[in-house]
Structure 1
């Protein structure tokens, strides 16, 4: 693992105002104040939408910012990844979301914007793998944690169509609705050295270990081995799925007979009617090809990954 120290004198801070149920601006103010107190010049950007935010982030990198700092959750960090992947500009994180799975992976303090800002100002840069997702139309999306497909992405799709209720209860209701109509999902999974056809409940591909705020869906994944980890949950009863989910928080689900795990540099997922999500955001319909790209990201962190 390559670790270097960078002189951080000027940063561009991207804030997602909606992250953490609207708590990101407050976290951003605290983090920015600490950076300035540490002698770091700060330029703040807020996009009108995700596409605008990506453009602003890319422009900041092109203009030579020392680091792109993202204030928000995994969705906001995903915007930063699209701009910073395969560049020399490191990303800094000030966690302010509900899940914060990226921050957990990199050992960034959560719930403490000042401590997260200190990590940035200290300037320790490590390199991390990323997952490169190529859609059927040739477009590319970079992912740092989990690419989800199957039951969990169906729940996200349903929840995103619902206007009521707000907050976590919407996802709970969406999950109940999807459980009621659960059926086998035929998958073709192409790995480096084998092809798998399976009736699955869900298929998760991990560059990191967790999603959904600490659910260790691919508990053995590493951000520095140049490989992707797969967790394939075979189709079964609703009761079996309900019993499985609590075990995901400890990563012990992978020992169940219904769960198979694989490791591969490249993965192609094919399943009709299934939408992929990456880092909690909608990516697009299968088929998709996912490839581990070693050392594609520079990140400011004090914990070896």
Structure 2
């Protein structure tokens, strides 16, 4: 900070339902003052507004940084507003998955490090993916992944009480309960090319590759390459899900159609019967149509200093 200039100020958009929110508030205020920033502006999400309105208010206040304190849903909602602006995003992970934070090496269980990385860390520009559901005029954005079918059913069926007790293992419970089911005939178009058809349990779009447990479901995905990853999941027969797992382990290197990968800048997915839909872990209910397109390097984001895994970021220098 230059002599005579006002200190920088951050806004924190936080989800008050998270148990650590109040402790984080005291810690964040302390660290901001310690690092020469002004006392942060605190904006609480509500049942009706999961972060977009608070992020707009933060921009209107002219803050220098917006921190999203919550899970992947809070991060997504704040990013919808910050994408395309010059105001960077910092992550203070409070959720169960925290998938974007995991991909960026931001401390999941170290709130002090997360706050300091948001205030003083290196800055990158990453892609966001716009998604329109059932031809809606307004789009959402996602930073990690979105899906239609099995994965969305799992997200919608995960028990909140179990997440509080066992964390991400609650998704395993929901996954096992949703294994039975029938594939849906789905039409897919990549970059506007001629559509092709698949009978699938799930179609997913990904912006980065890693999920909990270090599993990489979109091999080679990068957050800043301007490309979208598409994965289809089509188990067949009694051992079909074993073939899916094998395909994930092989990272798509094989001829088994249980897992297929495509890379593109835009995609259109049409299910012939309604399927569950999720965006960055938030279930949206059922629908039949998804339109996805990448907005390259449109979100400024803070993260720890140091060289990043090239499977996450292609640009390793600021």
Q: Which bin holds the TM-score, normalised by the shorter protein?
A: 0.7 to 0.9
- Seen in structure 2, the aligned counterparts of structure 1 residues 52 and 176 have a Cα distance that, compared at 3 Å, is closer
Once the two structures are overlaid, the 10-residue window that deviates more, 202-211 or 45-54, is: 45-54
Uncovered stretches (5+) of structure 1, i.e. residues with no partner: 1-6
8 Å CA contact 1:211, 1:279 repeated in 2: no
Q: Does 1:106 align with 2:107?
A: no
What pairs with 1:54-65 in structure 2 (closer than 5 Å)?
54-65=52-63
The corresponding residue for 2:17 is: 18
The residue correspondences of 1:130-209 to structure 2 (distance < 5 A) are 130-135=128-133, 136-159=135-158, 167=164, 171-180=171-180, 182-192=181-191, 193-209=193-209
| Matches of 1:170 and 1:107, distance apart in 2 | 23
What residue in structure 1 maps to residue 3 of structure 2? none
Q: Cα 1:52–1:234, aligned 2, differ >3 Å: closer, same or farther?
A: closer
**1:290 counterpart residue number:** 292
CA displacement 1:109-164 (0-9 Å, x = unmatched): 221111111112215321111001122121210100011222111222344xx788
| RMSD after superposition | 2.6
User: How do residues 238-253 of structure 1 correspond to structure 2 at under 5 angstroms?
Assistant: 238-242=238-242, 244-245=244-245, 248=248, 252-253=250-251
List gaps (5 residues or longer) in structure 2: 1-5, 314-318
**What is the rounded CA distance, in whole Å, between the counterparts of 1:221 and 1:230 in structure 2?**
10
Q: Which residue of 2 aligns with 1:3?
A: none
Q: How does 1:85-124 map to 2 (within 5 A)?
A: 85-122=83-120, 124=122
Q: Which residue of 2 aligns with 1:227?
A: 227
Q: Secondary structure at the match of 2:95?
A: coil
- The answer for the alignment partner of 1:4 in structure 2 is none
Deviations along 1:55-85, whole A, 9 cap, x unmatched?
1211111221101101122112112112211
For residues 274 and 116 of structure 1, what CA distance do their matches in structure 2 show? 36
Q: Secondary structure at the match of 2:66?
A: strand
* Greater share of residues in helix: 1
Given that residues 71 and 97 in structure 2 are in contact (C-alpha distance below 8 angstroms), is that contact kept between their aligned partners in structure 1? yes
Does the residue aligned with 1:298 lie in a helix, a strand or coil?
Answer: strand
What is aligned with 1:34?
A: 31
Change (3 A) 1:246 1:33: farther
| Moved beyond 4 Å, runs of 4+ | 162-173, 245-248
Equivalent-residue separation in structure 2 for 1:58 and 1:222 (angstroms): 28
